């Protein structure tokens, strides 16, 4: 290949990776900044990344496609079922729209697999998410300072994003921040350390009780499993979190504090801000069409027959059960299992794994547990952040499996992140 052509190809690939980083950067405020008919800012950046990816592929003398992993074919099966459900759906337009969303998410999975080839690039994406979380927290805080609430006078959010989405996306940044704080450049580590108390502050301002529970869960898991040091060192972040919570108890509006104090009552009553009634009605709606479901994206329409009006499921697995039956819910759960499996192998072979591999595997275990918990009070099965976290685990897992196979065969390991091509 001529030097000029090689330079052009490398430049386009760098642009593609930059756009993927920009896409991940926007995920904490994914629903903000709608741009005409294109949609959200994240979708716009994703489309630009897809165009750059095509240019990068055709710029080579021969198209180089990385060998696709098992995880990708599981994702294809899930997306395919959503598309095929148009044959029996109760709302054709809703199903077509939802299927198109899943096709875009599948494209995101392929872009990440094709162009993120090294652990350094994978860590760069996590850093982009943390930076995006800083923007999110700053915007939430600005809304509080300027007295610009969203849903009610006690709740604030980033731009026009749903407050619960904002809180839960901030909570997912906590494991990434812990991982950055343990390893990396000094400035990045400082940013990650400061993000931990800032995240608790931002989540408190959203007034999201589910976000608060998820954040506490992620924080405790990070301290117990990710910080591999003495008990005194483990106690430091928990003590800092306790101090932040005490300060928030004084600084937050009384209405917001009363909202959080009612969390225990909501759990004991199994109401969860009205979600309990929706979940029972959803189970009844599933029994109407137990095999194949009502069709992708039709949960609200299916709920009319049992609840009398449409409402969001507020639970990813229930939504999929009603829309696609047990097969759809199982395929979605399979994405978690397949994405996490390589990291389970790492942790089961502690003696033969490097400290970096153990740290990365532990990070993804915590991220997956946090992400799974996030699916329970919200519809996150079609959110880009869900598919990014699943794909990120798949990428790091592929690196481990490749090095493990090379070690088993007695051959030198290939450069990190280099996959076979066809």
CA distances from 413 to 125, 288, 355, 408, 419 (A): 24, 53, 17, 10, 11
In whole angstroms, give the CA distance from residue 312 to residue 319: 8
Question: Would residue 124 be called left, alpha or beta, if left means φ above 0 and alpha means ψ between -120 and 50 degrees?
Answer: alpha
CB distance 294 to 285 below 8 Å: yes
Count the helix, strand and coil residues of the chain and give each as a percent rounded to the nearest 5.
75, 0, 25
In whole angstroms, give the CA distance from residue 296 to residue 90: 9
Contacts 24+ apart (CB under 8 A), 397-405: 397/339, 397/340, 397/341, 397/342, 397/343, 397/364, 398/69, 398/342, 399/119, 400/342, 400/343, 400/345, 400/346, 400/353, 400/357, 400/361, 401/342, 401/345, 404/345
CA distances from 358 to 134, 173, 178, 296, 379 (A): 27, 19, 14, 38, 31
pLDDT at position 226: 77
- pTM score above 0.75: yes
Burial class from Cβ neighbours inside 10 Å (0-12, 13-18, 19+) for residue 230 reads exposed
Say whether 380 sits in a helix, a strand or coil: coil
CB distance 134 to 191 below 8 Å: yes
Tokens of 166: 């904002």
CB distance 275 to 314 below 8 Å: yes
pLDDT at position 422: 31
Neighbours of 219 (CB within 10 A): 22
Neighbours of 197 (CB within 10 A): 17
pLDDT at position 333: 96
CA distances from 345 to 32, 357, 401 (A): 38, 11, 9
pLDDT at position 262: 56
Q: Where are the alpha helices (DSSP H) in 39-156?
A: 41-58, 70-84, 92-115, 119-145
Residues 6+ apart with CB under 8 A from 302: 90, 285, 288, 289, 294, 322, 323
Tens digits of pLDDT across the chain (422 residues) = 455 555 556 778 889 999 999 999 999 988 777 776 667 788 889 899 999 998 888 877 666 788 899 999 999 999 999 999 999 999 999 999 999 999 999 999 999 999 998 888 999 999 999 999 999 999 988 888 887 776 667 788 887 778 889 999 999 999 999 888 887 778 888 888 888 888 988 898 888 888 989 998 998 898 888 776 555 455 656 666 666 666 666 666 666 666 666 555 555 444 556 688 899 999 999 999 999 999 999 999 999 988 888 888 899 999 999 999 999 999 999 999 999 998 998 888 765 677 788 888 999 999 999 999 999 988 999 999 999 999 999 998 887 776 666 655 555 544 444 443 33
In whole angstroms, give the CA distance from residue 388 to residue 370: 14
First CA to last CA distance, the chain: 19
pLDDT at position 256: 65
In whole angstroms, give the CA distance from residue 194 to residue 214: 19
In whole angstroms, give the CA distance from residue 108 to residue 53: 11
Residues 6+ apart with CB under 8 A from 341: 397
């Amino acid at each position: 290949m001529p030097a000029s052509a090689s330079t052009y190809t490398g430049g386009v690939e760098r642009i593609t990776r930059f756009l993927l980083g920009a896409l991940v950067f926007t995920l904490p405020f994914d629903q903000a900044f709608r741009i005409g008919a294109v949609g959200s800012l994240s979708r716009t950046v994703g489309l630009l990344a897809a165009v750059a990816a095509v240019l990068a592929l055709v710029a080579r003398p021969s198209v180089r496609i990385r060998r696709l992993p098992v995880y990708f074919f599981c994702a294809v099966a899930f997306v395919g079922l959503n598309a095929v459900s148009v044959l029996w759906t109760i709302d054709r337009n809703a199903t077509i729209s939802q299927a198109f969303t899943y096709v875009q998410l599948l494209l995101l999975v392929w872009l990440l697999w094709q162009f993120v080839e090294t652990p350094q690039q994978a860590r760069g994406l996590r850093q982009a998410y943390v930076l995006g979380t800083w923007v999110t927290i700053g915007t939430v805080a600005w809304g509080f300072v300027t007295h610009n609430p969203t849903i009610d006078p006690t709740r604030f959010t980033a731009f026009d994003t749903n407050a619960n989405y904002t809180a839960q996306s901030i909570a997912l940044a906590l494991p990434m921040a812990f991982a950055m704080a343990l390893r990396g450049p000094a400035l990045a580590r400082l940013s990650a350390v400061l993000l931990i108390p800032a995240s608790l502050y931002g989540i408190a301002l959203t007034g999201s009780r589910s976000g608060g529970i998820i954040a506490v869960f992620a924080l405790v898991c990070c301290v117990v499993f990710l910080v591999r040091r003495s008990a005194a060192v483990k106690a430091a972040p928990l003590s800092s979190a306790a101090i932040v919570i005490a300060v928030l108890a004084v600084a937050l509006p009384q209405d917001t504090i009363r909202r959080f104090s009612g969390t225990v009552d909501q759990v004991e009553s199994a109401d969860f801000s009205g979600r309990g009634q929706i979940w029972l009605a959803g189970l009844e709606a599933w029994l109407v069409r137990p095999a194949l479901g009502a069709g992708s994206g039709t949960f609200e329409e299916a709920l009319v027959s049992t609840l009398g009006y449409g409402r969001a499921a507020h639970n990813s697995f229930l939504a999929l059960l009603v829309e696609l039956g047990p097969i759809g819910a199982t395929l979605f759960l399979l994405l978690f299992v397949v994405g996490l499996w390589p990291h389970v192998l790492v942790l089961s072979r502690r003696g033969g794994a490097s400290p970096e591999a153990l740290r990365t595997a532990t990070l993804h275990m915590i991220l997956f547990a946090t992400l799974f918990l996030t699916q329970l009070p919200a519809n996150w099965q079609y959110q880009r952040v869900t598919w990014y976290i699943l794909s990120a685990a798949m990428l790091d897992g592929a690196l481990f499996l490749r090095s493990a196979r090379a070690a088993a065969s007695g051959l030198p390991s290939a450069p990190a992140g280099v996959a076979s091509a066809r």
